[in-house]
């Protein structure tokens, strides 16, 4: 698993000893609120199992998940490509940033690096992502990677017992920055 460096961030593997901080950051209700695969409440066991699962999926080539760290190694979030599909050369981009680090451009910076990695190193042709309609900040991050809005998936997910409309975005290799 490579390490990617951007102007302010280091993107590398999650380590088992990140579990306590993953639980604290991903355990915030604001993170579960606009994602579909992060449980809430989020126990330490979830974090431990999730870190191990990411390691296995990376070995199998099914996904690649990067811890987003500042230069002093402080963990600020996660970004990755999942459902890597070698037949159709595509994958899904996903990310979260710890609540105390929002609004600093870290998601944009990390997402751009991972999209570039997907095209240049994984040889993907298409990278797509979804966000809930009521989460426009994620849409801004996706647009900043060169993604275009492809459609609206009505009531695609159920969150906190309510169906939610989801926007589908994608960028093609030829369109990447």
b/e code 142-175 from CB counts within 10 Å (16+ = b):
bebbbbeeeeeeeebeeeeeeebebbbbbbbbee
- Considering the rule CB under 6 A, would residue 96 count as an interface residue with ligand COA? yes
Helix (H) or strand (E) holding 23: helix 19-26
Does 104 engage in binding with ligand COA (CB under 6 A)?
Answer: yes
Q: For the chain, how far is it from start to end, CA to CA, in angstroms?
A: 23
Our finding on whether 128 is near ligand COA (CB under 6 A) is no
Stretch that binds ligand COA, among 57-65, 129-137, 151-159, 167-175 (CB under 6 A): 129-137
* 35 sits near ligand COA (criterion: CB under 6 A): yes
The reply on whether position 34 binds ligand COA by CB under 6 A is: yes
| Residues in contact with ligand COA by the rule CB under 6 A | 30-31, 34-35, 95-97, 102-108, 131, 135-138, 140-141
């Amino acid at each position: 698993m490579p390490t990617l460096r951007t102007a302010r961030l280091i993107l590398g593997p999650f380590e088992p000893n990140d579990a306590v901080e993953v639980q604290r950051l991903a355990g915030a209700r604001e993170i579960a609120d606009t994602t579909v695969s992060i449980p809430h409440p989020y126990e330490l066991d979830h974090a431990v199992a999730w870190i191990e699962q990411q390691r296995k999926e990376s070995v199998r080539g099914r996904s690649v998940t990067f811890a987003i760290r500042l230069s002093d190694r402080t963990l600020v979030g996660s970004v990755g490509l999942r459902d890597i599909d070698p037949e159709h050369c595509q994958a899904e981009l996903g990310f979260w940033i710890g609540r105390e680090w929002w609004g600093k451009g870290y998601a944009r910076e990390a997402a751009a690096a991972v999209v570039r990695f997907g095209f240049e190193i994984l040889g993907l042709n298409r990278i797509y992502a979804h966000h809930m309609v009521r989460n426009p900040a994620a849409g801004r991050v996706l647009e900043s990677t060169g993604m275009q809005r492809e459609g609206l998936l009505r009531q695609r997910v159920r969150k906190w017992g309510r169906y939610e409309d989801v926007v589908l975005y994608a960028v093609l290799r030829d369109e990447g920055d």
